[in-house]
Structure 1
Amino acid sequence: MPTPEGPMPQRGRLSRQIVMSMGLVALITTLIAFVGSFVIYGLLYTFLPPPPGPPEDMLIPQAPDYLIFAALLLVALIVAVIIALRLARRILAPLNSLAESARRIATGDLAARAVPGDRSLGETAHLVDDFNTMAMKLQDMAADMAAWNAAIAHELRTPLTILKGRLQGLSDGVFEPHEALFRGLLFQVEGLSRLVEDLRVVTLQDSGRLQMRIEPTEIGAEVEHAVDSIRPALEEAGLRAELRIVPVILRCDGPRIRQALLALLDNARRYAHPGRLRIDVEPRDTHVVLRVEDDGPGLTPEFARHAFNPFTRGDASRSRESGGSGLGLSVVRAIAMAHGGDVRYVPSSAGGSIFEIDIPRAPVPEPEP
């Protein structure tokens, strides 16, 4: 890491170059006037010697002397203007490129980039680099937003199409009202509700506005409730839940922790091989680890790098059922981060998947007497 003294000389290049250039202009102007006067008067005395007369008269400038001084100053001024224009072009070239790129971005061209030009001018080069970095992030955010909108529209399209078709059929008398049809419609509505809630959690966490009701919670009880609520579905998928819980009081949002665990268990229900499903609660010095481990098949290295990104799905051929929004693991990460923790995936030694949620521990206040 650079020391605090390191960037300072680099950041001062432009100011130093301006001072040095202005000093050089002043020096050149003075030298032209001073040396030029010696040269011209030397030539005049050589080829046009002065007429005889009192030496005092030579100390008083005459009209030709003023013309000589004016000519020398004009030459010095022209040289100074040329040097100043060259310096101005070096400084203004990247700034003009920056202004043009800013105008293009303001009109919607997020691919516009400024040209740093002469990198010996440290401040302008750094300004252009910072602007280009900002423009790149803005373009990436716009692309992510477009991808999010497309993904959300894709996820909403299927259940809405089913609901519209079924309701239109009921309205036209194509379908007879019966309990199975209404259960199917209710299932689609519940899927939409889950999708909306998952989107709300992920977007609120990304904006830093996901609210947590932090209070002392028996984390083991929350885990047991979550497992009991989904146990029939796990058993139907051939998964046998095994709990290993160490009692611990943790300051957290219990329902949110239960929501994150349910997302992991539902993910295992969809993709894991039939067998054991181990759920552990392991207190450590600074945090509590909530772990879910299955017997396989695990995640591929390519997919594991993006598993917690929104709308990322596993291999559909390995899923026991269609559906799933690709937001489950994103919700887990959002809840963990809202608690100041994190979530990670590691492959197990048996070839399965291990998902671990780390929740920092905080002192639990003693109850008041």
Structure 2
Amino acid sequence: MMAPRTGLSRQILIAMSAITVTAGLLVFFGTYLAYTAIVAFYPMPDADGSLTLTDLLIVGGVIIITLPIAALISFRLARRILEPLESLAENARRITAGDLTARARVGDRALGETAALIDDFNTMAQRLQDMAADMALWNATIAHELRTPLTILKGRLKGMIDGVFEPDESSLSALVLQVDGLARLVEDLRTVTLADSGHLDLRIQPIRLAPEIEQMAELMAHDLSTSGFQLDLDLADVVVDADATRIRQALLALVTNARRYSVRGTITISLAEEDGEIRLGVADEGPGLSPGMTTRVFDPFVRGEPARSPDMSGNGLGLSVVRAIVEAHGGRLRYRGAPGGGALFEMIFVKANRSPAAHDA
């Protein structure tokens, strides 16, 4: 048994019924008026100018036959319109109740705008479901990343309280390293989250990148040399509109990533202008990324091969932070194989419309 229709469904059915009845009445009276006009302008012999009973019966019979047909057509049209809308309303209520798997049925795609509305609704529902799944994954992954250093901190501190461990310089330094790791994780999460929401604080101004990179290279050279790496610079003198602090943060993350995962050798920082773009790249000597990692390497908490130095293990957010910073500048981050067989990560920015000389002035 069909449930009584309410709301929009009832209004559409009432409107369709009214249209059908009105159309029948218009046909009847229109026929009568047309016949009267024809007789008035073109009188027929032996005719009194009015409809006879036979004429009325013929017109009435035609209306009686066509009216149910028109009603059936109207009902079917209303049903075609209502089915996807009722499905949309029902599944919208399911999503409101928390069922993000709900999807509306498109029905007849001949109703173009209705079908497009259903498609848009289903796309929105899929994105909500994906966002909820991503959020659940993020929460689980963050909890996992926080659990290890917190467990170590708790165990060590409890051991010191119980007298199991001596609070010497070595033990305290190890605890400080765990705290630094937590602080780095929190800051990386903050950067990625702010960038995704469009609220990453940037102080954009024209800067000459080459001197900034040279200063960083001087600071990093000793630690890299200690780890068996040599830093090579290939820098053009270009100007880009950027936040110098954030660019240094991104560059440091790329160099750290190369130091963590590549074989010992040369890490090359290149800066060049090509096709109206500024390309700041960091290349190593291998082994590069596996084919399956190239499409996922910039996703949060995705790690490639294990770090070659155990003390250099990361949290899987380094490249995500770099991408967030670059995209916040209106640029893009790209990976490709380096000429020597290693990995090359390039930060690509739009060139500033000014010259270094003008900036110096």
- TM-score between both structures, scaled by the size of structure 2: 0.81
Q: Deviations over 1:265-295 (max 9, x none)?
A: 1111111111111112223463322111111
Q: Answer yes or no: is the 8 Å Cα contact 2:239–2:351 preserved in 1.
A: no
Paired residue total: 329
Whole-angstrom distance in 1 between the partners of 2:77 and 2:240: 64
Q: Percent identity?
A: 50
Q: Deviations over 1:290-314 (max 9, x none)?
A: 1111110011111011111111101
Q: Answer yes or no: is the 8 Å Cα contact 1:222–1:257 preserved in 2.
A: no
Please name the residue that 2:308 is paired with: 319
Please name the residue that 1:257 is paired with: 247
What residue identity is the alignment partner of 1:231?
A
Please name the residue that 1:156 is paired with: 146
Q: Which runs of 5+ in 1 are unaligned?
A: 1-17, 36-53
Indicate which of 273, 288, 310 corresponds to 1:283. Answer: 273
1:294 to 2:284 alignment = yes
1:332 to 2:322 alignment = yes
Note the C-alpha offset of 1:337. 1.1
* C-alpha spacing 1:199/1:68, structure 2 compared with 1 (3 Å): same
Please name the residue that 2:40 is paired with: none
Whole-angstrom distance in 1 between the partners of 2:259 and 2:212: 19
Note the C-alpha offset of 1:200. 1.1
* Structure 2 counterpart SS, 1:158: helix
Q: Which moved more, 1:208-217 or 1:193-202?
A: 208-217
* C-alpha spacing 1:161/1:79, structure 2 compared with 1 (3 Å): same
Matching of residues 1-369 of structure 1 within 5 Å = 26=23, 30=27, 76-284=66-274, 286-316=276-306, 319-321=308-310, 323-364=313-354, 366=358
Computed over aligned residues only, the root mean square deviation of the Cα atoms, in angstroms, reads 3.3
Q: Deviations over 1:326-359 (max 9, x none)?
A: 1111111111111111111110232111111112
Note the C-alpha offset of 1:83. 2.2
Whole-angstrom distance in 1 between the partners of 2:121 and 2:241: 42
Q: Which runs of 5+ in 2 are unaligned?
A: 1-14, 33-45
Q: Which moved more, 1:280-289 or 1:188-197?
A: 280-289
- TM-score between both structures, scaled by the size of structure 1: 0.79
* Structure 2 counterpart SS, 1:189: helix
What residue identity is the alignment partner of 2:336?
V
Q: Which moved more, 1:295-304 or 1:345-354?
A: 345-354
What residue identity is the alignment partner of 1:310?
P
* Structure 2 counterpart SS, 1:247: coil
Q: Answer yes or no: is the 8 Å Cα contact 1:345–1:353 preserved in 2.
A: yes
* Structure 2 counterpart SS, 1:192: helix
What residue identity is the alignment partner of 1:341?
G
Q: Deviations over 1:227-265 (max 9, x none)?
A: 333333322332111112233343321111111111011
Q: Which moved more, 1:277-286 or 1:319-328?
A: 277-286
